[in-house]
Amino acid sequence: MLLFLAENDQGVTLIGLSPPFGLDADAREGTRLVGPFTAIWYLVFVIPFFLWVPIKSATVRVRGAVRRGLQELGDSLRALPTRKSLFAYLGASLLYRDALNGIYAFGGIYAAGVLGWSIVQIGVFGILAAAVGAVACWLAGKLDSRFGPKPVIIGSVVLLMAVCIIIVGTDRTMAIFIPVADGSNLPDITFYICGALIGAGGGSLQSASRTMMVRQADPARMTEGFGLYALSGKALAFLAPALVALVTTLTDSQRMGVTPLIVLFLAGLLLLAFVDPDGEPEFRCAPS
């Protein structure tokens, strides 16, 4: 929706039109409407799910279900250290997913602060990442089916680490640590390429991670496994933003502020070494 609503400094949207619905470009009303419009879009198109997706469940009392659910969650958390592959995988995914969220959150901020990009350039950056990510997810699915999710995850993490290193080495004076002439557009081109690679690596990483979770979870308690996966993703969601903020403050450099993401990716990659690609034998679910 950035294409149709968000305005640039000239008071037109990213595709060169005046904001629709009589919105005031000077007040950035189009840009401010993107969030509410997205929420309405989500609300409208989730309605078919609630109306027509069948749900089979036994009739249970809420209080008893909550008590039993919390008890089972406690039992599962206490048993995690005995399931070494699952435990390692949850730890690894916690770290590299947090780093990925850091890239998503700070990519546009970095482009504006370090490269001085406009809203138009940042919008194109996001669109490029989404478009390339869609194609990359399809290709990653093919690789996942043939080789399994672990090689795809490792490849995606390595790619994203490389992107972070490139970002650290790119500003108005250099591209990938190589000095450039004043006014050169090479840093911009480099960052656009990084956007495409972030879309490719991030989308592939997220899809392959879910496939890996299927292999790590107990087939008889799959929803619980994905609940732990979601919980681990939220438990330290503050880590990447906090580290980026800390290093940026200490070094007074947005470029150096990206370096903690490299460390998080690397830590996740090291933990993946302890992950059995097929899960523990007693909980093994044969891949389709």
C-alpha to C-alpha distance for 228 and 121, rounded to whole angstroms: 38
Average pLDDT of the chain is: 85
**The pLDDT of residue 4 is above 60:** no
**3-state DSSP call for residue 278?**
coil
More confident residue, 7 or 25: 25
**Percentage of the chain exceeding pLDDT 90:** 50
57 CB-contact burial (10 Å; exposed 0-12 / middle 13-18 / buried 19+)? exposed
Can you give the pLDDT at residue 25? 66
Inform me whether the pLDDT recorded for 225 exceeds 70.
yes
What does the pLDDT look like over 115-131, one tens digit per residue? 888 777 887 888 899 99
**Per-residue confidence at 279, pLDDT binned at 50, 70, 90?**
confident
- Give the pLDDT confidence score for residue 57 in this predicted structure: 64
**Phi then psi dihedrals of residue 7, to 5 deg:** -95, 150
Q: Which pLDDT score, from 0 to 100, does residue 123 have?
A: 79
Delimit the domains of the chain by residue range: 2-52, 84-282
Which residue has better confidence, 69 or 156? 156
DSSP string, 103-118: HHHHHHHHHHHHS---
Total Cβ atoms within 10 A of residue 180: 17
Structure tokens at 228: 């732990």
Write out pLDDT tens, residues 158-208: 999 999 999 999 999 999 999 999 989 999 999 999 999 999 999 999 999
**pTM strictly above 0.85:** no
- If one looks up domain 84-282 in CATH, what number appears? 1.20.1250.20
* Residue-level pLDDT at 11: 60
CA distances from 145 to 26, 126, 149, 256 (A): 50, 28, 8, 38
State mean pLDDT over 10-26. 64
Structure tokens at 86: 């699952």
**Residue 12 above 70 pLDDT?**
no
